[in-house]
Structure 1
Amino acid sequence: MIKSPPLPIEIKISTVVAISAILHSADPLAIDAALRQMTGGSSDFFDDDFAVIDISAIAGDVGSIDWRALVDLLRRYRLNAVAVRGAPATLVDTIRAHGLALDDGSSGVRPPSEPAPVVVVAAPAPVPAPAPAAAPVAAPAPLATMVVDTPVRAGQRIYARGCDLIVTATVNNGAEVIADGSIHIYAALHGRALAGASGDPSARIFALTMAPELVSIAGVYRTFDEGFPADLARQPNQVRLVGDRIDILPLTPAPRA
């Protein structure tokens, strides 16, 4: 069978985690001094991370921001500014003119009363070296896991970098949970869940009940605009990737006739 040539462009869900640079001053000298103290002069404190500039805390002083100088300053510390959060409508054109996006989830301006999304990033904890032994025994290194014990609210984003994610409370509509490994939700999943975010197709998503807005494994996604399948509702399910297809399967065996 002759395979069709690939399309010139392919669209998949991609997970991009950005550092929030929350400004409490518009003075570039003060910002520079704070970053220098924070990094201790280390040139690799940041690793070319994306940064969202949050100006919500200096609403009365945003007109004095020198955007080009601010972007260049962050770049010197290996922070790549990509967006601005908490901007008033009067600054939208100025911000876009400097090549920055507006972080509000809809390419507009976040209302002042709406909370900014929370990004929680976890990296695997270092495994301590084992104590010397007369006869060392090889043992597999423990897998790192991030555990969240509180509900994930609308507008929040939880990202477990380099590990699995366990959530013991509800993931609400408008919330997003992301993991480079698998995602285990010991409650209801109503928001978005993206497992295998770094490209692992063997990652899975587990939940006690599911009514998600979107699920994704290794960038392949499935939405539920017409509702979650009724035959899978109100029971434990798993989401896995089979080829380029997202499958949803019950975790409990079907009852015998």
Structure 2
Amino acid sequence: MSAQVDYAQAGELKFGQVGIANLRVRTLDVAQLAAEMRDRVQRAPNLFARAAVVLDFGGLSKTPSVDDARGLVEGLRDAGVLPVALAYGTKEIEALSQELGLPLLAKFRAQYERSDGEAAPPAPEPAKPKAASKPAPKPAPANAAPGLMQAAPVRSGQQVYAEDRDLTVLSSVGAGAEVIADGCIHIYGPLRGRALAGAKGNTDARIFCREFHAELVAVAGHYKVLEDLPKELRGKPVQVWLENGQLKLAALD
């Protein structure tokens, strides 16, 4: 009689939304990049120390050599973060990822391309309606979705993501918790963790909260950490938005 085989999986593999930093390299100066990252780690160790980082070489005119890229990986590790992958790019980037033994995250940076200076394609000029015609009502977008409402507190270590919509949190966002939305974020309790609006690059997204104690806030990839946030706004109702590529914060009246 044959022995019974146990087909139960020892590990369950799932794919989900992951908060991960994207370092877009504009100048391949290993010493300067490592110094900048070391400064970030020192100013916000709870956020950046041993944080996973994706390297994005799309801002360079040519793909780095294997030696230069490997030197950057080691420099960033010495600075206190952990490079874990390369951002999707050209065939040369794919070959570089194989040489470095790092995975390639497909089209990781696509959502921020225009925020890095690339001009948006011109919108087609709308057709003029005929004089006698009655304007047709605008159909609702095919991907329109109601906002996501989170009634329970978002506790430390938890993450809530509102894909392609706004997020409303009726309670608090605890320290070490993270709320993400492709649209706006509304928080009716204290914000003590991280809030990232416009996650797919929507520069019109905003963050609103009733009691501001955030570890980090970001809109369309532009962020500020606790040490950079105005002390006079702590504990107050606050809104966060982008203006001319700069992250702005102000108390709500």
| TM-score, normalising length: structure 1 | 0.45
Provide the TM-score with structure 2 as the length reference.
Answer: 0.46
Q: Of Structure 1 and Structure 2, which has the larger fraction of its residues in helix?
A: 2
